[in-house]
Amino acid sequence: MPSVVGLLEQHELAARRRVDGLREEADRIQAELAAAEQEWQEWAIARRRVDTVLAPDGGNTAGTAATEDPRDADAPPEPRDAAKPKSQVPVWREGLARSVLSVDYQCILTALADRDRLHQGPLTCQEMAQAFGMDVVPARVEALRSKAKRLVARGWLAERQPSRFTLAQGVAGQGGVS
């Protein structure tokens, strides 16, 4: 008769093998997904370039911002003076209004301005996702983290502790955000 410890070890070994197999499968799927997303992005870029060349204004792209996401290729054009959903983030300077940012970035600044006004301290990306009513899943949190890091790099936000964001000193000094 096998011992209880021996049976537990057998079950543990079987469970570990299953976890290892699932991890390998997940890695394979992640790699396949990355390749498919890359291909999709390349096709979307190609279509945008052809659209630009065939545009009635002769392909003049002055004053337009490059998009970062192939899904934007299907979006209808917006007025040129409005902030575009995937527009580039300008470097912050005194007097620059947050309206130059896309709505997503404006929401982040507004949330942090509210926290600053209420003296509540820094905000994590998970807390932002909750505040915005998003599902707190890794993909959403990482998307917010990417946006917040971009705002840090351009001087709109500060990250004094890892993954904890506040308004940058000059931005906060404007009485919140202009």
The helix (H) or strand (E) run that includes residue 7 is helix 4-53
Other CB atoms within a 10 A radius of the CB of residue 35 amount to 10
Mean pLDDT of the chain: 80
Cβ contacts of 20 within 8 Å, gap of 6 or more: none
pLDDT in tens, 4-59: 999 999 999 999 999 999 999 988 888 888 888 889 888 888 888 888 888 776 55
pLDDT in tens, 55-66: 776 555 554 444
Please answer whether residues 104 and 156 qualify as being in contact, where contact means their C-beta atoms are separated by less than 8 angstroms.
Answer: no
If you average pLDDT over residues 88-117, what whole number do you get? 87
End-to-end CA distance of the chain, in Å?
A: 76
| Half-sphere exposure in the Cβ direction for 2 (13 Å, CA) | 8
Q: Report helix, strand or coil for 173.
A: strand
pLDDT of residue 176: 45
The helix (H) or strand (E) run that includes residue 66 is none
pLDDT of residue 57: 66
pTM beyond cutoff 0.85: no
Torsion of CA 142, 90, 98, 41, to 10 degrees: -40
Of 60-69, 96-105, 110-119, the least confident: 60-69
